[in-house]
Structure 1
Amino acid sequence: MQKLGLTGQSKQPHASDDQMKGISAVLMDGDEIFIDNNAIHAKSRVEIGVKFVGSLEEVPHPRRVVGLWVSLKRFEGGMGYNGVHAFEMWIDSEAQLGYKKLADHVNAMDKAVKGKVDLSLLSPDEVQKFATFLQSIRPDLWENASPAFREAFSAV
């Protein structure tokens, strides 16, 4: 079982406005869905060793990797999923080239941290697969999720 690295608590000994402490990345690469919090620093396992180029046309055989920035919030019933925003990147592992719009990744992450919900980049099948994954790893977070979060996944 994968651990969702979201605690809503800072492990820093000092107080800080660290909004990134409650964000996680869930990636879908083909049929595999996994948590990779290194994506927060653009160092997920699909990004390591990849040179990102300025246009998709420069990537010879791109495969689409889709992801979700997922944030948590403490609700009356306990900790639950709050914000979720989809993002995508295109990777050619053999050529070690990739394309992504970094500004889009950062903006999507910021929106998820702020509790916004947007799955418009995903197909209905992808939404369903992500929903199944999120429900299976932490059913308690799913049960305590914000209404907007749950609604986004039930729209398919």
Structure 2
Amino acid sequence: MADQSSNQKKNNQFTIIKDDPNDGHDGYGIGSISLENMSSVIVDPNEDRAYVDMEAMHARSSVERRVKFQDDKEVVANGKLYWIVWVTTEKGENGPYFAGVGACEMIVDRSIKRAYKSMPEHVKHMEKSLKGQIIVDNMDDHSKKLLKDFLVDFEGGDMWKNSTNELKQALEVE
């Protein structure tokens, strides 16, 4: 009989491409992108919280489950707003920091089991986050504050302290 906690641990992991995808050969994997420094943060302005949900990397976050995605916002006009924020970390001379941030909206209407998100936007913002760009100007102030508070509090705040002024200014709200 298998250990159930061991099985649960495996289910919470995901496969990523680490280090150099070429690794000395020119076959399969050339041009692959490493996602080992990226995390997905869900910002839920409805519940006033932000949290890491790595399942969003595969479109299986707790918010995305059991809904069918549409590419028309009108279908979910009565839905709740969420943000998936692609956060890339790097290691600088002072230690790790938040290098790239790309926020993407998602609207979910559980009553009709439908949701909206723009897949091209998610891919674009994910790529920009990997390149160290900051994209949060599409977020409302309340959601920006939730994201900022989460990043500031994350692991004692050292990563926030080491982050760029560009990120800090982008998440300032009035």
Shared fold by TM > 0.5? yes
**Which of the residues 37, 62, 70 maps onto 1:22?**
37
Q: For 1:97-136, list aligned pairs within 5 A.
A: 97-136=114-153
**Larger Rg over CA atoms:** 2
Per-residue deviation at 1:118?
A: 1.5
Change (3 A) 1:74 1:90: same
Higher relative contact order (CA 8 A, sep 6+): 1
Secondary structure of 1:135's match? helix
Per-residue deviation at 1:155?
A: 5.9
Secondary structure of 2:112's match? coil
TM-score (norm 2): 0.76
The one-letter amino acid paired with 1:88 is: E
Q: For residue 7 of structure 1, what is the aligned residue in structure 2? A: none
Deviations 1:1-29 (A, max 9, x none): xxxxxxxxx785x7425421111111122
Q: Contact 1:60–1:95 (CA<8 Å) still a contact in 2?
A: no
Deviations 1:114-143 (A, max 9, x none): 100121111222212211111112211111
Q: Matched residue pairs, number?
A: 146
Secondary structure of 2:132's match? coil
> Can you give the 5+ residue segments of structure 2 that lack an aligned partner in the other structure?
1-15, 22-31
Q: Distance in 1 between matches of 2:168 and 2:113?
A: 37
1:151 partnered with 2:169: yes
TM-score (norm 1): 0.84
Q: Contact 2:49–2:146 (CA<8 Å) still a contact in 1?
A: no
> Can you give the 5+ residue segments of structure 1 that lack an aligned partner in the other structure?
1-9
